Amino acid sequence: MAVLRRRNRDQAVAMIEGAIERARQESRTEFYLGVARHDDDRVIGFARIGLSGVQAGKLGYAIAAQEWGRGYATDAARALVTYAFKELGLHRITAAIGPDNAASIAVVQQLGFAREGVLRDHVFTNGAWRDSVLFSVLAHEWSW
């Protein structure tokens, strides 16, 4: 989730079709939560947890720019993390975030994630290697 890419319409359709296809699989490896506007129910983003490792998951989210700052990402991430601990039995959830992504860091900090450290040259994006900051929360730390 540390990689942010601008997609055209065909790429967005392919991404959504891929997510729907993977959601149909018997042993699911990822879980998406669609985010819709309060007033007209229009879809404006998502939160996602991808299973990885032993009872562990990686959290990500994105919200349409015109809706930023209204609490949608925090709400969606809170609901999905609760689901992942309660229903999927996960033990540990991480989020790897670009050091300059203040809004995303604010989201996980608001939810009580702890900062673990820096993943050096974690992603290759826009022609360069970039660090990520790793945050995590454990099941026993989560209040639901």
Ligand X SMILES: CC(C)(COP(=O)(O)OP(=O)(O)OC[C@H]1O[C@@H](n2cnc3c(N)ncnc32)[C@H](O)[C@@H]1OP(=O)(O)O)[C@@H](O)C(=O)NCCC(=O)NCCS
Task: Tell me which residues touch ligand X (CB under 6 A).
Answer: 1-2, 4, 60-63, 68-74, 97, 101-104, 106-107, 110
Of the pair 90, 108, the CB lying nearest ligand X is at 108
Of the pair 26, 39, the CB lying nearest ligand X is at 39
What's the closest the beta carbon of residue 144 comes to ligand X, in angstroms? 18
Of the pair 2, 90, the CB lying nearest ligand X is at 2
What's the closest the beta carbon of residue 96 comes to ligand X, in angstroms? 7
C-alpha 73 chain-centroid distance: 9
What's the closest the beta carbon of residue 1 comes to ligand X, in angstroms? 4
What's the closest the beta carbon of residue 26 comes to ligand X, in angstroms? 29
94 CB-side CA count, 13 A: 20
Place of tokens 């985010």: 35
Beta bridge partners of 137: 93
CB 107 within 8 A of CB 73: yes
What's the closest the beta carbon of residue 117 comes to ligand X, in angstroms? 16
Of the pair 25, 59, the CB lying nearest ligand X is at 59
Beta bridge partners of 101: none
Place of tokens 């042993």: 27
Alpha-carbon distance of 91 to 58, in angstroms, equals: 12
Of the pair 55, 101, the CB lying nearest ligand X is at 101
Beta bridge partners of 132: 119
Place of tokens 């309660």: 86
